[in-house]
Copies of this chain bind each other. A is one copy, B any other.
Amino acid sequence: MLRHVVLMRWKPGTTAIEKQAIREGLAALPAAIPEIRSYQFGDDAAIVEGNYQFAIVADFENASDFQIYAAHDAHRKLIAERIRPILQDRAAVQYAL
């Protein structure tokens, strides 16, 4: 199994509507991309100072399935249209489970 972890910070001025559009887009990905085994995301709970603002933890059977997800049109369209316009910082790791 391969786990894909992404943390993001949004640009100042990002609206609740823009953030909701990202959550809705992400929620639709598991149905569109059968290679996704597990998909959990959410806003930072604001209990620690200095955190990033949003996390995605996605599990795949192997690196090949992760690559299919990464290159999938539904995923790329979401990144291009909803995430990249408000993205300030991004940190990611993929690691073996």
CA distance A84 to B96 in the complex (A): 24
Interface of chain A, main secondary structure: strand
CA distance A3 to B96 in the complex (A): 18
Q: Which listed residue (B7, B43, B67, B70) contacts A5, Cβ 8 A? A: B7
Mark out the residues of chain A between 46 and 97 whose CB falls within 8 Å of any chain B CB in the assembled complex.
47-48, 50-55, 57, 63, 66-67, 70, 89, 91-97
Q: Is A44's CB under 8 angstroms from B95's CB?
A: yes
With CB as the reference atom, state the residue of chain B lying closest to A94.
B45
Assembly stoichiometry (copies):
2
CB of A2 within 8 A of chain B?
yes
Q: Is A91's CB under 8 angstroms from B7's CB?
A: yes
CB of A40 within 8 A of chain B?
yes
Q: Is B94's CB under 8 angstroms from A47's CB?
A: yes
